[in-house]
C-alpha cells in the first residue's frame, strides 16, 4: 500500500512538471505568430527555393543581366542592435526597464529600374517586457541606410521608420517590418562591392520632424 501511494505521488509530480513546462513554452512563443512571421518573410522573397528555377528571357542588347545586379549585404549597425525604454524620467537600466527590443533576423532583395535601385529590406525582431512593466503597445524606431564603405564611409541614402508592436501577457512578442521604398542611384561597377545596407534602432525616429520656418 505504501509503495502504491509513493508511485501515485511520483506520477502526479511528473504530470504537474510536464504541464508547467508546456505552459512556459506556449507563453514564450506563439506558434501562430511564429508561422505568420515566417509566411511574411517567404512572401517577401518568394520562399520557393525547392521549386525548379524559371527560365528568364535574355536581357536586351546593352542592358546588364538581372543576375549581374549586386544587392548589398545587410547588417546591423554597431551599437544599434537593441533599444530599451525606462520608466518615466528614469534611465533604462535594471528594474526601471519597461521594455527592450532586439533585431534577430534580416533579409533583402533589389530590383533595377530607370530611376536606380529599389531595395526591400526585411527586419525581424522581438520586444520583451521589462521589470517596470511594458505598455499595451510600443513604438519601435528603426533606421535603414545605404552606405558606401571604405576609409571614409559615405551615406548614399537613409530613412527612418516606425512600427507599432502590440504586447501580450507573456511579455515577449516578435515583430516584422518590411521597408518597400529604399531607393538609391545605381553605383558604378568599381564601387558597387563596397555598398552595404545598415539597419538598427534609432530613437530619433520617434521625434517629430522640425517645422519649417514661417515666411515673413
Whether the CA torsion 129, 131, 137, 142 is positive or negative: it is: negative
Q: What pLDDT shows up at residue 119? A: 93
Confirm if 133 and 97 have CB atoms less than 8 A apart.
Answer: no
Q: What pLDDT shows up at residue 148? A: 95
Where exactly are the structural domains of the chain? 1-46, 68-207
Query: Which pTM was predicted?
Result: 0.67
Q: What pLDDT shows up at residue 52? A: 35
pLDDT along the chain (216 residues), means of 10: 46 38 34 46 48 39 49 94 92 93 94 90 95 93 94 92 91 93 92 95 77 50
Provide the 8-state DSSP code for 212. Answer: P
Q: What pLDDT shows up at residue 206? A: 75
- Domain 68-207 sits in CATH 2.60.40: yes
What are 132-136's contacts with CB under 8 Å, separation 24+? 132/86, 132/87, 132/95, 132/96, 132/97, 132/98, 133/98, 134/98, 134/99, 134/167, 134/171, 135/98, 135/99, 135/167, 136/166, 136/167
Amino acid at each position: 500500500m505504501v509503495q502504491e501511494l509513493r508511485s501515485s505521488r511520483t506520477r502526479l509530480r511528473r504530470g504537474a512538471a510536464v504541464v508547467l513546462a508546456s505552459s512556459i513554452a506556449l507563453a514564450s512563443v506563439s506558434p501562430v505568430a511564429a508561422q505568420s512571421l515566417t509566411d511574411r518573410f517567404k512572401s517577401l522573397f518568394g520562399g520557393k527555393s525547392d521549386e525548379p528555377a524559371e527560365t528568364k528571357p535574355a536581357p536586351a542588347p546593352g542592358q546588364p543581366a538581372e543576375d549581374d545586379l549586386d544587392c548589398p549585404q545587410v547588417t546591423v549597425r554597431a551599437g544599434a542592435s537593441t533599444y530599451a525604454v525606462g520608466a518615466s524620467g528614469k534611465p533604462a537600466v535594471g528594474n526601471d526597464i519597461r521594455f527592450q527590443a532586439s533585431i534577430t533576423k534580416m533579409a533583402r532583395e533589389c530590383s533595377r529600374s530607370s530611376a536606380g535601385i529599389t531595395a526591400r529590406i526585411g527586419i525581424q525582431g522581438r520586444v520583451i517586457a521589462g521589470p517596470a512593466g511594458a505598455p499595451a503597445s510600443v513604438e519601435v524606431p528603426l533606421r535603414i541606410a545605404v552606405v558606401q564603405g571604405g576609409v571614409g564611409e559615405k551615406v548614399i541614402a537613409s530613412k527612418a521608420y516606425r512600427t507599432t508592436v502590440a504586447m501580450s501577457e507573456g511579455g515577449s512578442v516578435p515583430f516584422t517590418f518590411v521597408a518597400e521604398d529604399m531607393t538609391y542611384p545605381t553605383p558604378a561597377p568599381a564601387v558597387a562591392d563596397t555598398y552595404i545596407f545598415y539597419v538598427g534602432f534609432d530613437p530619433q525616429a520617434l521625434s517629430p520632424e522640425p517645422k519649417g520656418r514661417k515666411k515673413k
